[in-house]
Amino acid sequence: MPNAPDVGELTPPNRTLMGPGPSDVHPRVLRAMSTPLVGHLDPSFIDIMNEVQELMRYTFRTDNQWTIPVSGTGSASMEAAIGNLVEPGDTMLVPTNGYFGGRMEAMAERAGGNVVHVDAPWGEPLDTADVQEAFDEYQPDVFGFVHAETSTGVKQPHVQELTSIAHDHDALVVSDTVTSLGGVELEVDDWGIDVAYSGPQKCLSCPPGASPLTLNDRAMDKVLSREEAPRSWYLDLSLLEGYWGEDRAYHHTAPITNVYAIREALRLVAEEGIENRWDRHRRVASALKAGVEAMGLGLNPEDEYWLPSLNAVLVPDGVDAGEAISYVLEHYDLEIAGGLGALAGDIFRIGCMGYSAKPKNVSYLVTALGEALE
Ligand code: PLP
């Protein structure tokens, strides 16, 4: 038998998190997480669940009854969306312009769907005409797009045009809003998004663990009238309905502390006001953009689809991105990240999310990165 390990008390380094997520957690969220547990069926917890749903609807800008935190990270709310909406034999249209479109594809395939693609290069958004063409060619049942692509720093513009095309073809639209919810303008109802999923650890500045998901009635009708149960029992929305719907009956033990956390994080959104919060992200990220541009660095995406919450800064010729990233971590306790996939080595990914989106952090980042590139 192994001996009892001699492990000291937990003392993580005190980092400033300006990578692609997680972002720095707001102290009020950390405090909420240290409050006592109640049972997941305790009447007081039922009230908390209702409050979380109400706050989440406000943040998503939706009246959808079906708005819940899914237990798990953003990939759990993503798989809950795709795994329930896509039935075996359905066709799902997914984008190829970033890492997370690829994950949509993987999940749709596991759900038994046929995957078809709408192409755009990494670093560019989808073109409306290409989406139209893909619909005419494939007649998909479900269309997924990434509103804020964390791998490329691209915000998808013209969302309403995309959802109109999908609805003209009777398809349902799933949007990845992991890096936009609570930081970048997002109007689930007005834009005609049928299903949106997100994560708490980006613009909501909350630790991962309970991930926002919202579905409108049309999407929920499809989910509840499936012929075959989804492949995941844990993420089966028709079963989760028992807990988050009217009955409040046991399905699995909710991650109570994470629900406290997201409640406080969403309460902060409501206090600030969602439009003010979008403005703050844009303002602070504009300062960041100006700062790196003053250092002679460019941003990868065009202004029209620049994503304030994730800035893709071009790595200058002759610079090893990995070395610069390690330098700022080591000397400034500052986390930023490099590119993925097609953009590996070409960009720095600098987050400007939630509690991390503040002017002080911009000066800090510009100083640290400037020194790393000297
Ligand atoms: N979608 C996007 C756009 C993301 O940025 C991420 C995570 O970074 C995910 C999905 C998956 O979320 P998680 O890593 O929390 O499972």
What are φ and ψ of residue 163, in 5° steps?
-70, -35
Location of structure tokens 């669940």: 49
Q: What is the pLDDT of residues 263-312, one digit of tens each?
A: 999 999 999 999 999 999 999 999 999 999 999 999 888 899 999 999 99
Q: Is ligand 1 within 6 A of the CB of residue 178? A: yes
Residues contacting 320, CB < 8 A, separation 6+? none
pLDDT score recorded for residue 155: 98
Q: Which whole number is the average pLDDT over 99-108?
A: 98
Distance from the alpha carbon of residue 44 to the mean position of ligand 1, in angstroms: 31
Q: Is ligand 1 within 6 A of the CB of residue 146? A: yes
pLDDT score recorded for residue 300: 85
Query: Which of 272, 300, 284 has the alpha carbon at shortest distance from 356?
Result: 284
Q: Is ligand 1 within 6 A of the CB of residue 150? A: yes
pLDDT score recorded for residue 370: 97
Q: Is ligand 1 within 6 A of the CB of residue 100? A: yes
Distance from the alpha carbon of residue 122 to the mean position of ligand 1, in angstroms: 17
Q: Is ligand 1 within 6 A of the CB of residue 78? A: yes
Q: Is ligand 1 within 6 A of the CB of residue 204? A: no
- 148, 178 in Cβ contact below 8 A? yes
Assign 222 a pLDDT band (cuts: 50, 70, 90). very high
Q: What is the pLDDT of residues 110-153, one digit of tens each?
A: 999 999 999 999 999 999 999 999 999 999 999 999 999 999 99
Signed CA dihedral, 113, 116, 122, 123: sign only: negative
SS3 of 279-313: the string is HHHHHHHHHHHHHHHHCCCCECCCHHHECCCEEEE
Task: Determine the residue of 97, 150, 307, 343 to mutate for testing ligand 1's pocket, defined as the one with the most ligand atoms within 8 A of the Cβ atom.
Answer: 150
- 121, 97 in Cβ contact below 8 A? yes
pLDDT score recorded for residue 342: 87
The ipTM is: 0.99
Q: What is the pLDDT of residues 229-245, one digit of tens each?
A: 999 999 999 999 999 99
Distance from the alpha carbon of residue 273 to the mean position of ligand 1, in angstroms: 25
Query: Which of 153, 148, 132, 225 has the alpha carbon at shortest distance from 181?
Result: 148
What are φ and ψ of residue 157, in 5° steps?
-85, 175
Percent of the chain with pLDDT over 90: 97
* pTM for the model: 0.98
Count Cβ atoms within 10 A of the Cβ of residue 168 and give its class: 0-12 exposed, 13-18 middle, 19 or more buried: exposed
Residues contacting 330, CB < 8 A, separation 6+? none
